[in-house]
Each structure stands twice: as C-alpha cells, then as structure tokens.
C-alpha cells in the first residue's frame, strides 16, 4: 500500500494525494492542533486503505475526531457507488448503530443540584450497565424481539417506552428499512435478546450535563435549549446482537472478497458489491442490528425518565423531558448525496461519524427543517460536550460530521496514566459525580485519554460542516 502523502489545503483540511492503487484521494478534516494528535498514528494509512476499495465515490474522508481503528479508521466516512461499489461490515464496526441521544429537561442546574447524588444512584440502579449487562426490560419473546429488529424505535413507541412525539427526533425515524431478522444467526439472538435496554460497558455512558454557554441563541431556542438547563446524553448501541452480526459477516465477506476478486489491504476491510447477494444479506442484518440499537436507546431513555420521575416525584411531561435528537455513529446506509454536481444514491459508511443534514433537507423532521439537524458531540467525561447545528458545508462530507472527541491514548496507556490517581476524586473536584460498574472502565475513560473536543468542534465549524449552538458541562455520569 502507498504511504500517505499529505498536503494542507487550508486551516481545516488536509488532502492525501491519490496514488495507485488508491481509487480516490483522502480528505482529512483537521486544524493544526488536531493534526499534531494524528502525526504519529497509523490512522492516515487507514484512510489510504479505504480509498483503495472498489467503487468509492468522492474522497475517503476522516473527521477531526479520527483515530486508529481496525480496518476503517474511527471517524471515517466513505461513499460507494451502488453499481460498482462495495459494502463492508468492518466499515460499520462491531457496535452497529452505536450512537448517542440527547434528552432535554425543563430542569435547571439548581433544581438538580440538590438531588445529584440521589439522581445518579437512581440512574445507576435503573439502567443496567457494565460488562454483559442484561435485563433492562424483561419478557420479550423471540416473536416480539423480531418486531424490535424490524421496527426499531417505533416498537418502543407501540410498547409505551417512547412518547410518539419523540420518534422523529431519531435518525430515519428510528428505523432503517429493509431489516431482515432472518439474516441474523441464532447466536446473535442469544447474545442480544437479554441485553435489550442496557447500557453496556467501555465508552458507553449516561451523562447529565448543564447547558453552560449558548453560542447561537436563535437556533438554541428552536432546539429548546437555554442556559443552565439540565440535559441527558445516552451513549450505547446494538450490544451483543450487533457484535455477533458483524463477527459473522466479516468472516463471510472475507470469502466473498476473494470470490469477487477484491484485493484487500487489510482483511478487516472485507467487502462485497453492494448489490450482491452477500451485500444485500449484510444490509438486512445490519439494519436489524441498527433497529435493535434505536430500540435499545429508546428503552434506556425510558428508564432514565423513570429515574427522574422517582427522584422528583413528577411525571416526565411535567419535568419537560423530550428527545432533542438520537443519531447513529456506526452505520452504512443507502442515502442521497451530492457528487460531481449531481444528486446520486450511494452506500454511505460512517464509522465513528454522525449524519448532519443542513436546513432545508427534505429528510429533516418539520421541527428542524428551518434550522438544520442538531449534531451531538460528546467530549470526555471531565471537560465539555457540544450541541452543533449542521450547515451546508456538510454536503462535502456526504452529510456527515464528527461524533465525539476521539481517543488520544490507548486504553492500556490510559490505565498506565491513571495508575495511582483517584479518578473519582479528581472528577469530584471539578464538580462531577460519577458511578461506574467497573473501576477499570473509569481508568480507561479518563479525560486525558481523549482529544480536546473544542479542537474537534473548531475544525468542523471552520470547515462549515456544523456550527456550535451550545456548550455543555458534565456534572454527573454513569459509566458502564
């Protein structure tokens, strides 16, 4: 594979020159601070590898929260022609539709401050978290579970877990069409069924934030945001169901790649033509996994609302709790994008990236038609997060934006750095309460392990992909 040859285009973009066998160039969104964080990483090689895959249209894109993944980089976006292009399970990742949702409340920081400890304990007790967590809801039969896979967040509405008016806050209305429950194995069901309505572990979290600063007052008002407001972020995905689906389809696609004569720079990039039997089967299984994840976050949101209701003694409606947005981070979908001045349908892979539809896009729900889509950018657990609004510049990224701060340190390195430190006390000194199912997770997720999210936001903002609307400050969290 060719080594990446990079050239800075402007303050926010770096181009990676197209050198055979690359089929397109690379385009990395990075200001100079972000560039320094990826200088000694292998991640640009992964951008090059993706650019070598058949049928890629437009550049192999990397968002500023990019970091070394397996196969595709994390923070990678790539579009593939439906006729000549491919679909790659490794380009989506194991945690299919890992994503984040934001629940607004009508509470102010002073209301919550009196109850933080109790609220945190209630959330910790209410939402199963940690390694292999199970039992968020019980009594879901296999027949019912298949409906979850077909209907996603819509199933949660029908079962009373999600208010109907929250459904359009979900990407694609919380359901990716074409889900095929039969395309997932018995093992996927075995792993996934008991885990519906759970947070999991690793970088998954529940976070209570306060809106610290409004950057764009008009859009903030349209989004329902105000200074001092308490909001909740929910970060989880398709749990063991998606892991198993990805596992099995990567394996199948390695054989398929050989059958279709696709030369792979890394086996994890295994793929098949989008329209092939293998490609269609994976799309069906992936959509089922993505719908599991939508339903999972909808149920976790229900458990969050229940915890708030118990602590404050008021209904969630009285507490002003409603979804702002819920979006996928790891997904491949057939979407309409702009390429070479035309609107075309392409298979967009987002691995550690989020969709970002600007104002006027017909796919937006009515409430965001004028503003553009809210884009959540969670930072690390000790500093800040952002709510952005998608801009027209997102056309250049196939309507995609960054998904978070991006890891800086490996989990191993983070544990080394945190050895001997009292992470909970450090957070407490910053006014942040945390509960974690595992101390190891807390050590792996220390703030130092992540890039400064403000550099990430500066880049997407400078590149015209999305503008900041509000900055959030965390004050309580549950880590898996």
Which residues carry out catalysis?
Answer: 403
Q: How far is the CB of 242 from other proteins (least distance, A)?
A: 8
Q: How far is the CB of 148 from other proteins (least distance, A)?
A: 19
Cis peptide leading into residue 21 (ω within 30°):
yes
Distance CA 349, CA 73 (A): 11
Sign of CA dihedral 356, 361, 363, 366: positive
In the complex with other proteins, the residue whose CB is nearer, 73 or 279, is 73
Could you tell me which of 60, 10, 69 has the C-alpha nearest to residue 38? Answer: 69
Distance CA 304, CA 416 (A): 33
In the complex with other proteins, the residue whose CB is nearer, 96 or 387, is 96
In the complex with other proteins, the residue whose CB is nearer, 130 or 197, is 130
In the complex with other proteins, the residue whose CB is nearer, 71 or 378, is 71
For binding to other proteins (CB under 8 A), which residues are involved? 41, 43, 67-71, 74, 90, 93-95, 130-132, 187, 190-191, 200-202, 240, 243, 246-247, 250-251, 254-255, 266-268, 270, 407-413, 438, 440, 480
Residue 442 is encoded by which pair of tokens? Answer: 């807390």
H-run or E-run covering 120: helix 116-126
Cα atoms in the 13 Å half-sphere on the side-chain side of 101:
32
Q: How far is the CB of 352 from other proteins (least distance, A)?
A: 9
470-to-156, 385, 452 alpha-carbon distances in Å: 29, 9, 16
Q: How far is the CB of 235 from other proteins (least distance, A)?
A: 14
Q: Where are the beta strands (DSSP E) in 322-465?
A: 322-328, 330-339, 342-351, 353-355, 374-377, 385-390, 400-402, 433-436
Helix then strand then coil, in percent of the chain rounded to 5, is 40, 30, 35
Q: How far is the CB of 19 from other proteins (least distance, A)?
A: 22
């Amino acid at each position: 594979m060719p080594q990446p040859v990079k050239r800075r285009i402007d303050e926010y973009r770096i181009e990676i020159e197209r050198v055979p066998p690359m089929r397109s160039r690379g385009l990395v969104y990075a200001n100079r601070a972000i560039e320094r964080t990826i200088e000694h990483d292998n991640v640009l090689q992964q951008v090059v590898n993706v650019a070598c895959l058949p049928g890629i249209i437009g550049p192999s894109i990397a968002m500023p929260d990019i970091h070394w993944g397996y196969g595709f980089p994390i923070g990678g976006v790539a579009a593939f022609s439906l006729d000549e292009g491919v679909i790659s399970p490794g380009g989506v990742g194991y945690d299919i539709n890992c994503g984040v949702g934001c629940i607004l409340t009508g509470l102010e920081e002073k209301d919550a401050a009196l109850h933080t400890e109790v609220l945190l304990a209630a959330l910790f007790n209410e939402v199963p978290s940690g390694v292999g967590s199970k039992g968020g809801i019980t009594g879901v039969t296999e027949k019912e579970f298949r409906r979850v896979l077909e209907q996603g967040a819509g199933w949660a509405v029908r079962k009373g877990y999600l208010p109907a008016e929250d459904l359009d806050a979900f990407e694609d209305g919380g359901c990716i069409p074409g889900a095929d429950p039969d395309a997932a194995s018995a093992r996927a069901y075995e792993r996934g069924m008991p885990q519906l309505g759970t947070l999991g572990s690793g970088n998954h979290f529940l976070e209570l934030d306060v809106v610290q600063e409004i950057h764009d007052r008009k859009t903030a008002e349209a989004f329902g945001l105000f200074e001092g407001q308490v909001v909740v972020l929910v970060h989880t995905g398709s749990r063991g169901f998606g892991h198993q689906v990805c596992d099995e389809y990567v394996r199948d696609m390695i054989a398929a790649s050989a059958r279709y004569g696709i030369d792979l720079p890394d086996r994890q990039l295994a793929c098949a033509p989008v329209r092939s039997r293998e490609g269609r089967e994976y799309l069906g299984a992936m959509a089922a996994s993505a719908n599991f994840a939508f339903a999972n976050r909808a149920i976790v949101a229900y458990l969050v609302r229940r915890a708030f209701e118990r602590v404050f003694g008021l209904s969630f409606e009285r507490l002003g709790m409603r979804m702002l947005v819920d979006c996928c981070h790891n997904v491949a979908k057939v979407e309409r994008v702009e390429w070479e001045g035309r609107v075309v349908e392409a298979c967009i892979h987002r691995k550690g990236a989020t969709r970002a539809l600007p104002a006027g896009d017909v796919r937006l729900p009515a409430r965001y038609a004028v503003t553009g889509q809210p884009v959540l950018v969670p930072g690390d657990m000790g500093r800040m997060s952002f709510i952005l609004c998608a801009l027209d510049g997102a056309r250049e990224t196939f309507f995609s934006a960054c998904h978070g701060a991006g890891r800086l340190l490996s989990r191993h390195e983070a544990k080394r750095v945190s050895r001997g430190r009292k992470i909970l006390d450090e957070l407490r000194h910053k006014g942040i309460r945390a509960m974690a199912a595992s101390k190891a997770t807390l050590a792996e997720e220390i703030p130092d392990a992540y890039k400064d999210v403000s550099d990430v936001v500066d880049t997407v903002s400078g590149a015209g992909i999305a503008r900041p609307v509000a900055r959030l400050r965390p004050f309580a969290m549950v880590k898996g």
